[in-house]
């Protein structure tokens, strides 16, 4: 085998892998679109009181057995975002994505859109850029306060 044959084989393998990724990507987007349409049809606006929120494995969370059985097996090993909230008279554990998780305040009433046990969005939710800007401003304020306290200690 010459170097040209080896390069040709490597190129063919790369093309086959790229084609596989392309097909898998199209399949995944179709599945996401179908799930998103179901979520859009079934979402409801509710007011909830957020008790606690955490990132944990579904096996460590107090979820109904039926829900845990319906979750795909690989989700049982990864950490997901959960919010424990009081919805009406019941205390329930709800799931959400990272963007919603960061926007939900703890120990406060929040108006949200819920589809089953999934929190779709928070009413008046800040964008990720606004959240980052607020965190950055808070850190800068804390640094300024530390510098001011150090200066006042040196003067005294």
Q: Are 71 and 121 contained in the same domain?
A: yes
Residue 97: inside a domain: yes
Give residue 75's pLDDT.
81
Give residue 155's pLDDT.
66
Distant-in-sequence, close-in-space partners of 48: CB < 8 Å, separation ≥ 6: 85, 86, 87, 94, 109, 110, 112, 114
Range of the domain at 4: 1-42
- In the chain, the N- to C-terminal Cα span, in Å, equals 82
Q: How many domains, in total, are found in the chain? A: 2
Q: Give counts: helices (H), strands (E), the chain.
A: 4, 5
Give residue 11's pLDDT.
95
CATH code of the domain covering residue 134: 2.40.50
Give residue 156's pLDDT.
59
Spatial separation of the C-alpha atoms in residues 32 and 30, rounded to whole Å: 5
Residue 154: inside a domain: no
Residue 156: inside a domain: no
Give residue 79's pLDDT.
92
pTM exceeds 0.85 for this model: no
Residue 153: inside a domain: no
Q: Are 118 and 55 contained in the same domain?
A: yes
Query: Mean pLDDT for each 10-residue chunk of the chain (156 residues)?
Result: 89 96 94 87 91 90 84 86 92 90 89 90 76 87 86 69
Q: Are 38 and 72 contained in the same domain?
A: no
């Amino acid at each position: 085998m010459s170097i040209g044959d080896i390069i040709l084989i490597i190129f063919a393998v790369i093309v086959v892998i790229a084609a596989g990724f392309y097909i898998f990507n199209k399949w995944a987007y179709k599945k996401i679109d179908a799930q998103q349409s179901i979520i859009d049809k079934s979402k409801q606006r509710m007011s909830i009181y957020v008790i606690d929120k955490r990132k944990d494995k579904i096996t460590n969370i107090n979820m109904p057995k039926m829900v845990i059985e319906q979750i795909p097996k690989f989700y049982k090993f990864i950490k997901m975002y959960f919010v424990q909230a009081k919805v009406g008279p019941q205390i329930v554990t709800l799931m959400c994505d990272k963007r919603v998780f960061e926007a939900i305040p703890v120990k406060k009433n929040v108006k949200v859109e819920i589809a089953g046990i999934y929190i779709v969005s928070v009413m008046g939710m800040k964008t990720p850029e606004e959240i980052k800007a607020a965190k950055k401003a808070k850190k800068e304020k804390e640094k300024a306060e530390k510098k001011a306290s150090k200066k006042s200690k040196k003067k005294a």
